[in-house]
Amino acid sequence: MVGVSETLERARKEFGERFGGSRPQISVFAPGRVNLIGEHTDYNGGFVLPMALPLTTVIVGSRRDDDKILIITTAHGADEPHTVEFKAPREEKPLVPGVPKWANYVKGVIQLYRAGPVPGFNAVIASSVPLGGGLSSSASLEVATYTFLQQLCADDGDAVQKALTCQKSEHTFAGVPCGIMDQFISVMGREGHALLIDCRSLEVTPLPLADPGMAILITNSNVCHELTGSEYPERRRQCEEAAKVLGKDTLRDVSFEDLEAMKERLSDTCYKRARHVITEIARTTYAAEALQRGDYKEFGRLMVKSHNSLRDDYEVSCPELDELVAIAIEVPGVYGSRMTGGGFGGCTVTLLETSAAERAKQHIQSRYRGSPTFYLTKASAGAGVITVQ
């Protein structure tokens, strides 16, 4: 797995080549994430259980003497052009979304930054988070951008507002009505812990995830997804419609008994979407309790049920993800597996005995029809400044 130091070196090398051999004054990082359980519950006010990853987005750069901003990305898979230049936003001339698409995630954070005015700067972005892999490459880019801006002109340091600002930028500049989970874990991640996040109150419960006998394997199907398509907004709209019919603000407030009692008032599709969300919120709280007591077998069972619900009720899986889960749970020592992220491609996450990790990778490699990429990973820290010696 590519670590922060390698990603930083790539960014610094590009910066030197593009800016006359100079060294960047600022270096920051923000992690991607894997969600262990609790999918499509965040924008319904429910619970999620993610952890930050050693896969990161790094931004290096320096202040300029004028108000121009020049940003280069080295991220594999980013749309062209890989260099953008524009003036720092001012009240009379705010930034607006445009092309390339990757730059909108950066522009949104610059426009909505909570301190300022933002000065001009040169910057290079490098990332080890796979684009379209369901590991929050977009949130890590947003949070890294915000962390970079904090070094240029400090804000009040409110971490929750930082995450909320990054979420708002994704809504308004990238057109993705995402929940708060991805930005929150990228800001708040804690080494050796998953975080149970209440997406309504934003309360966080750290859960230890450092047992040397247990491992987390991420398998990238290498089927890319793009959440700006119609599927994600459509799922959110269906959930909102179901909550409205059921007389509640969000599906977080609906019990399974309430749903069944009013089933006839919902379309079949909205009923299935609501059933997934309501049962997934319950599964996530049960899974957190299981993790707390070290009951990995129960946690794995809940992961598989989560995947089946995402496949059948929420309909956001795909044949490749279903295949990866089915293959993984065949391996002795695997507790459970599920798709992770928005769906329609990307990655699966598998909880397994550490001793079974290589066996699981070999089994998946031999059986999966595609070309998987593996990340044997651990829970890592949230965004921060990189001190360069």
- Chunked into runs of 10 residues, the chain (389 residues) has average pLDDT values of 84 95 96 97 97 97 97 92 96 95 97 95 96 89 98 96 97 92 97 97 95 96 71 92 96 97 96 98 98 97 98 96 98 98 92 98 97 96 88
How far is it, in rounded angstroms, from Cα 194 to Cα 18? 38
pLDDT of residue 130: 87
pLDDT of residue 153: 96
pLDDT of residue 41: 97
Copy the structure tokens of residue 82. Answer: 């890989």
pLDDT of residue 225: 61
Using DSSP, state whether 7 is helix, strand or coil: helix
pLDDT of residue 226: 59
pLDDT of residue 43: 94
For residues 85 and 107, the answer to whether their CB atoms sit within 8 Å is no
pLDDT of residue 237: 95
Angle at CA of residue 234, ends 228 and 235, nearest 5°: 105
pLDDT of residue 276: 98
Q: Strand 83-87 relative to strand 68-73: parallel, antiparallel, unpaired?
A: antiparallel
The dihedral of CA 87, 88, 92, 93: what is its sign?
Answer: positive
List residues with catalytic annotation: 182
How far is it, in rounded angstroms, from Cα 7 to Cα 223? 23
pLDDT of residue 76: 85
pLDDT of residue 229: 63
> Where does the chain show beta strands of DSSP type E?
26-37, 47-63, 68-73, 83-87, 121-127, 193-198, 204-208, 214-220, 334-340, 347-353, 373-377, 384-385
